[in-house]
Every structure is written in structure tokens, then in C-alpha cells.
Structure 1
């Protein structure tokens, strides 16, 4: 599989996963035009997309879903809660082919097999995904205030992960955000994963991973340098064997293959 994060952050999220004979997208939080432009920049063909998997219904994850999928006939997958939240944003309800996925159940999409798992965020029924093709599995776990033992059990199946590393706790505490927003971001039940929390997850996973992409970094309360440094501290002696990168908001990430 070839993975490219097309966009990641509070202004829009989209991940492109290319397999041997097809492609799937995880989230479509940038415009249809921008999805297609960034896919072309990454060397991917929008005409090869076999399915769009949505982690949750917030606008920075679904903004381009309606137009992209209506225009191409691409089916949309997500939990019942996510699809219910998406429904109110559609210009032509019923025009999309939508398929509810149950957390823990594997869904076939082309040559991919995708399993959703529950995450912890202020959305109706948010999820992460394990995406398998052949004997390779990639995990996507963003927009979650914590990673539970159950979530870890899914991520431990993976050869590579795209993992949230949203904020530096000190930058958040000392930053200009109002107190209620700081509490929301730091909330373990419904918020976003901090750099130290992401590093603790990687400490549990690093023995079995080849690639990590740190995702959904706050432009206000984090820096790529801080996220990378904390992640490298977390993986310790495994740092030399693990390719760790950072996904960006305004440009595509470096693609990697697993």
C-alpha cells in the first residue's frame, strides 16, 4: 500500500490509501477540487477511488464528501452516527450510496478490508480504521481524547499508523484560546490527543511498526518540531528503526509504502 496524507489539521483532513488495484480515501474535509488536485500531485488517480471512509461528521472531515462522491458514484462508509450527521449536509439526500459499518466488523471495499473501532471525541459515533490489503495493515486514529486498551488492540495489528498528536499541553495552557476551548481540547473523553499521549501510544506500538505519521497538529498549540521530538522520546531505542513523519495542513505529506 501507498499512503499519502493529503491534508491534516483543523481546516481539513483527507488521507489517500492506494492499493494494488484501487484506492480508498479516509475523510474528505477539503473541497472536491482540492482533493482531486492533491491526489494528482501525489500521483494518485481520483478515478480509482473505490470508497470513502469517514471517521466522524465534523466539517473538517466531510466538507468535500458530498460533491466528490455524487460526481463519481463513490460509496461512503461510516458508523450509523457519522452517516446520520453527514445526512444533514447533503444537497441531494439519497443521491449518495451510504453504508453503515459496525465497530469491530470488517467491511470489504475492492481489495481492501476495513475495520472500524470506536474513538473518544465530541461527535455522534466517531471511529478510527484499520485498513488491510493482503498481509499489510494501516491504522488511522485521529480526533480522539485518549487511546484506550481496546483501541490499542486494533492498532497493534498495524504495520503503520496515522496517529493524532494535536497539541503541546504547555502551549495550550499558555496560549490565547479561551478557557472553555482549552478544556474541550484537553478533555480525555471528547477532546484531542496531546503530544505526550501520542508518544505513550507509540511506546506501546513501536516494536511492530515501520512507519508513523503524526496527524491533526494544531497550528496554534503545537509545532512539528515539538510533536516529532516528543514522539522520538516515546519510541526511545526504536527511533532508528521507525520512520516518523508529520502530516501538514496546506501541503501533501511525503508518501510512504508498506
Structure 2
């Protein structure tokens, strides 16, 4: 199994995953043109995609879904409530490209088993995904206000995590956002902070080589260096020393990460 975080941030999100002859993306939150450019950068052909897995209906996750589905005849998978919420936002998607992926279920694409799980976010029925390929496991969780014990049980022991590290609490509190927006971000239906993300990570990683990609960083309330430092320090306080068996990686809103093998 290989993957690349094609783009991650408040302006657009998409993650590429492949195994054997099957390839998928989680979300397509950028324009169709930008998505095509990102695929070129990782050396993959967007025409070969077997599906777009949608997490929720916010524009930074679905902006390019309709365009890609129609242009390249790519099947789109989402749960029932998410389909209803995004139907007016992605244009018409032909019936033969519309598939339902229910919450807390598993779909199989070749050697990839994809497990959906619920998160806590201010969307209709948000869910994220675990990818299983034999003994290897990749977790994608980038929009949740907190990480519940149930989520931790599902995502535990992955070999790689694309994990939300959205904001620095101090930057958010002192920043330009109106209080209503700050309250929403800080709520259980908002986004996870650097420190809270690290605490959750400390409870789900095993003593084995593990990659953690810090994702969905706010362009106004976080910075790559700050997120990495905060997560690293918090992990250390929990008894985990980054650089030993845990490696931290940045993601970017405009540039894909290197295509790596899980």
C-alpha cells in the first residue's frame, strides 16, 4: 500500500491511496485542474482512479468531486446523509457513479479493505477511513473536535496516520476570527488542536515504526514548525520520543507529500 497527502489545509484536502491495481482518493477539495496537477506531481494518472471516498460535505473536501467524477467517470462513495448534504454543491453526478458507503462498514477494493468510522464534526454525518492491506494499516482522520475512545479503538496501531493538527490554541484565541468562529473550532464539533492531537496520538501508536502526517493545519492559526514542535513536546511528555520509532511529517495545502509505502 502506498499513499500521498496530495493537499491538506483549510483551503483544500485530498489523500491518494493505492494498492496493486486499485487506487482511491479520500476527498477532492480542490478544483479539478489543481487535482490534475497534484496527480502529475506524484506520477499517477487520475484516469485510473477506482473511487473518490467522501468524508463530509464541507467545500474544502468536495470542491472537485463533481468535476472529476463527470470528466473521468470516477465512482463516488459517501454515506446517505452526506450525499443529501452535498447534492446541491457538486453538480449532477450520474446514477451509475453514485455509491453509498455506510458508516461503520467495510468496502473492499482489490487487496484494500476500507473501514469507515464516525467522527465529531459540524457536518451532516462525517466519517473517515482506515485502510487495511494485509498486515498494514493507514488511518486518515482530519476533521474532528475530539478523538473519542471508540475512535481510538478503531485507529489504534496503524503503521501510518494522517492526523489532524489544526490549530495552536493561543494563536486561535488571539487571532482575527470572530468569537463565534473560535468557539466553533474549539468545540467538540470543531477541530483538534496541536496538543490534543498529540495526546490522542500517544494513546493509539504502538512501539513500532510509525509515520504521522500532521494535517489540516489552519492557515491563520497554525504553522508547520509550531505544529511539529507542539506535537513533539506533548508526545515526549507522554513518554514517546519522536525520532526513535515515531516520525513526524509535514503536509502542505499546495504540494503533495512523497509517495511512500506503508
TM-score by structure 1 length? 0.95
Quick check: 1:255 aligned with 2:259?
yes
Hey, what does 1:199 align to over in structure 2?
198
- The answer to whether 1:60 aligns with 2:64 is no
Contact 1:31 1:64 in 2 (8 A): yes
Is the 8 Å Cα contact of residues 4 and 254 (structure 1) preserved in structure 2? yes
Please tell me whether the aligned partners of residues 70 and 96 of structure 1 are also in contact (alpha carbons under 8 angstroms): no
Specify the SS of the correspondent of 1:130.
strand
1:244 correspondence with 2:248: yes
1:1-258 correspondence to structure 2 within 5 Å = 1-95=1-95, 97-188=97-188, 190-207=189-206, 208=208, 210-236=210-236, 237-240=240-243, 241-258=245-262
C-alpha separation in 2, matches of 1:248 and 1:69 = 24
Q: Deviations over 1:42-65 (max 9, x none)?
A: 112212211110110111100000
For 2:69 and 2:134, locate their aligned partners in 1 and report how far apart those are by CA, in whole Å.
Answer: 26
Q: CA deviation at 1:215?
A: 0.5
- 8 Å CA contact retained: 1:16, 1:26: yes
> Could you tell me whether the CA contact under 8 Å between 1:73 and 1:96 is conserved in 2?
no
Secondary structure at 1:234 match in 2: helix
Residue correspondences, number: 257
SS at match of 1:191: coil
**Matches of 1:163 and 1:90 in 2, distance apart?**
26
Partners of 1:57 and 1:86 within 8 A in 2: yes
Q: Return closer, same or farther for 1:11/1:19 CA change in 2, 3 Å cut-off.
A: same
Task: Check 1:32–1:96 CA distance in 2 against 1; reply closer, same or farther (3 A cut).
Answer: farther
Structure 1 gaps of 5+ residues are none
CA distance in 1, matches of 2:214, 2:77: 24
What do the CA deviations read for 1:15-58 (whole angstroms, capped 9, x no partner)? 11121222100000011121121111011221221111011011
Task: Tell me the secondary structure at the aligned position of residue 239 of structure 1.
Answer: coil
Q: Where in structure 1 do 4 or more consecutive aligned residues deviate above 4 Å?
A: none
